[in-house]
Amino acid sequence: MKRLLCILLLAGSLQAAKDDPFTSVAPKPEFQELQSSSLYVPMKDGTRIALDVVLPKGLPPERKLPTVLKITRYGRASVDGKIDFITRFFVSRGYARVLMDERGTGASFGTVRYGKPTLGDIREVVDWIVRQPWSNGRVAATGGSYEGTTSELLAAIDHPAVRAVAPLYSDFNYYTDLLYSGGVFNDLLIKTWSDLTAQMDAGASAKRVDTDKDGTLLKQAVAQHPANLNVYDGSRHAPFIDDVASGMGGAWLDISITGVRAELEKSRVPMMIFASWYDAATVQGTIERFQTFSNIQRVFIGAWNHGGGRDGNPFLPQGTPPVPGQVQQTAEVLHFFDHFLKDAPDETAGKRQFYYFTIGENAWHATDTWPPQGLHTTIYHLTGDHTLREQAGEASVQVELPVISTGEQNRWGPQVSGGDVHYDNVMSKLNSLPQFTSAPLSAALEITGQPVLRLHLACAESDPAVFAYLVAVDPNGKSVFLTDGELRLVDRKLNADEQTLHSYFKRDSEPVPQGKEFEADFTLFPLSAVVPEGWRLRILLAAGDSPQFGAATPYKAIIFSSSQLELPSKMREKDTGRTK
């Protein structure tokens, strides 16, 4: 039966590929040989920023090229001088590529900045680019993860040369989407990233510029980097969204993309966005950007790992090739840039487009609004007999909420490792948690959007958290992970205007009432899934996820029957793609 299920799901995936939105075909390379050079460009304050410039070899003097900029704190280029795939892809097809070590990183001098304080350096580098004899005066940026965030910052510099950006798998709101999901500190992720970047800042990723023959300038630059903020230490002492982490240059909202919201909207720079349902919580930012920014956006949300190099669809076997792969994803960015930087025709270029992948069905869908039309809220009640029912129950139930580990392949781990995101290897742990399970579905159920868990509970802890996991269970008892979410309960004050229902401001924190019933509503991460007929839904609860979110303590809680799980959903008719 399991083998048959995998075959059917794979067949669905292959069929869906015929109708997917990834139709761009990259032109054959125009240039076969490339040449790279590097130099320092001084900023107005005298700080020297290291750049690599990669151009087609033998470019005629009369030929002018648009530029694709990379802005990074991970080392602008390989220390051994090798040209990376993305650079070769664009330059061989008629672009210049400029690679920038951010201030305080790589071979650049100074100390690192985050968010809005970086705009000045980016603007000065763009000024330098458009003065070059090979430049056609148009600039874009693309990159993944941190480099996706800096690509989006390019659009905020208020420069006429900036024509498009493509932030891929990037961070929109550092607090809610990465560092403090649900107000709970993401200890392991931030510690690992902080240690890794400290090694890079100490010279591990530093490529010296061409004129620095003996490496003297590189040593001088690296000698300034110990003044960089220790991100882990700064973050863990700033638990609220309006806290200012020492050395970060502002509160979390200020240094995130949210801090340049006005500049981005004013710019009207078009954006191509790639994101995943299972890449940390970054899909929340992708949705919020589309809902609140008026810029032209072409958005793709799939079921990939961080970076899009591996498939993360929980209905398919681990190791299934991603569809599309990174080459096709890059071809989509190229097509997008060709229109805005080279005036290539594209009938869809002026439209806001939102494409999303539905797991289980394994098909792509398109919408111009989010959430899509046709959904309603299905409410399940958490009852005293550990079931999910559409009718309210009466009895409450006492549970022991344990601390578990979702391992290295959860939605957070690949942010640093770049590896697989899959929960199969921890599903037995999840199924040992206190749980509430529905009856078998009478028809296939599509869940698209952001589920909400409205808990009514009582406990004796002063500062607990609740972690929730939503899974689907097939008729043979095999569980498939769907989504999850968490909330630090002192952050429970409801604010329906916020995407995650909470402000996370210090002034809104509330003590947990000892031994008394209270309500804690929180969102699970957005998803789009079709759960087949005959399967059941299950919600599981825990007190913590360690070591991912640091140390936690198990505790007893009473879950009252007034607790509800709300699913944005619609039923699918049998054997058709239609809904009812």
Helix axes 119-130, 146-154, angle to 10 degrees: 70
Q: What is the pLDDT of residues 525-552, one digit of tens each?
A: 999 999 999 999 999 999 999 999 999 9
The three-state DSSP-derived secondary structure of 58-77 is: CCCCCCCEEEEEEEECCCCC
Q: Which of 153-162, 288-297, 566-575 bottoms out in mean pLDDT, i.e. has the lowest? A: 566-575
Domain of residue 235, CATH code: 3.40.50.1820
Q: Provide φ and ψ at 8, rounded to 5°.
A: -65, -40
CA distance 473 to 449: 20
pLDDT digits (tens, 9 = 90+) for 344-387: 999 888 899 999 999 999 999 999 999 999 999 999 999 999 99
Same domain? For 323 and 381 the reply is: no
User: CA 483, CA 341: separation in Å to the nearest integer?
Assistant: 39
Task: Identify each DSSP E strand in 34-174 by its residue range.
Answer: 34-42, 48-56, 65-72, 96-101, 135-144, 162-168
Based on the domain organization, do 142 and 219 belong to the same domain?
Answer: yes
pLDDT score at 246: 74
For position 574, what pLDDT does the model report?
64
Percent of the chain with pLDDT over 70: 96
pLDDT digits (tens, 9 = 90+) for 124-145: 999 999 999 999 999 999 999 9
Pair (171, 76) in one structural domain: yes
HEC secondary structure over 328-374: HHHHHHHHHHHHHHHCCCCCCCCCCEEEEEEECCCEEEEECCCCCCC
Same domain, 385 and 264: no
* Beta carbons of 33 and 88 less than 8 angstroms apart: no
Q: Is the pLDDT of residue 219 over 50?
A: yes
Domain ends where: 367, 394, 413?
367
Q: What is the DSSP letter of 178?
A: I
Instruction: Band the pLDDT of 580: cuts 50, 70, 90.
Output: very low
CA distances from 245 to 224, 228, 237, 254 (A): 21, 13, 7, 11
Q: Verify that 401 and 480 share a domain, yes or no.
A: yes
Residue range 54-73: average pLDDT? Answer: 97
Q: Are residues 291 and 387 in the same domain?
A: no
Asked if the structure places residue 170 within a domain, the reply is yes
48-56 and 363-367 strand pairing: unpaired
Q: Is 579 a member of any domain?
A: no
**pLDDT over 90 (residue 5):** no
pLDDT band at residue 20 using 50, 70 and 90 as cut-offs: confident
490 Cα distance to chain centroid: 25
Residue where one domain finishes, among candidates 335, 367, 399: 367
Same domain as 329, residue 209: yes
Distance separating alpha carbons of residues 289 and 79, to the nearest angstrom: 36
CB atoms within 10 A of CB 513: 11
Residue 15 has pLDDT above 80, yes or no: no
Average pLDDT, the chain: 94
In contact, 438 and 388? CB cutoff 8 Å: yes
d(CA 465, CA 479): 24
Write down the pLDDT at residue 150: 98
Residue 441 has a CB neighbour count (10 Å cut-off) of 17
Determine, yes or no, domain membership for 356: yes
Q: What pLDDT is attached to residue 393?
A: 82
Residue 577, domain member (yes or no) = no
Q: Which domain holds residue 44?
A: 2-367
- Look at residue 2 and tell me whether its pLDDT is greater than 90: no
Rounded to whole angstroms, how far apart are CA atoms 114 and 39?
23
In angstroms, rounded to a whole number, what is the distance separating the alpha carbons of residues 417 and 189? 10
- Total domains, the chain: 2
Tens digits of residue pLDDT in 429-438? 999 999 999 9
Nearest to 421 by CA among 271, 286, 276: 276
Domain boundary among the residues 367, 396, 430 is at: 367
Same domain, 410 and 447: yes
3-state class of 260 per DSSP?
A: helix
315 occurs within a structural domain: yes
346 and 475 share one domain: no
Bridge pairing between strands 518-523 and 527-531: unpaired
* Rounded mean pLDDT, 305-324: 95
Residue range 28-43, pLDDT digits in tens: 999 999 999 999 999 9
- Do 383 and 349 share a structural domain? no
174 residue type, one letter: Y
Letter for the amino acid at 314?
A: P
How many CB atoms are located within 10 Å of the residue 541 CB?
Answer: 22
Q: At which residue do the structure tokens 């960089």 appear? A: 228
479-521 pLDDT, tens digit each: 999 999 999 999 999 999 999 999 999 999 999 999 999 999 9
Domain CATH number, residue 517: 2.60.120.260
Residue 578 lies in a domain: no
- Determine, yes or no, domain membership for 576: no
Q: What is the pTM of this model?
A: 0.94
pLDDT at position 248: 78
* pLDDT above 60: residue 12: no
Q: Predicted confidence band at 9 (pLDDT cuts at 50, 70, 90)? A: very low
Confidence of residue 573 (pLDDT cuts 50, 70, 90): confident
The neighbouring-strand residues paired with 38 are 52
The answer to whether residues 241 and 317 belong to one domain is yes
Task: Give the per-residue pLDDT at 16.
Answer: 40
Same domain membership, residue 144 and residue 35: yes
Residue 6: the pLDDT is: 40
pLDDT value at 576 more than 50: no
- Nearest Cα to Cα of residue 87 among 51, 44, 47: 51
Judge whether 580 lies within some domain.
no
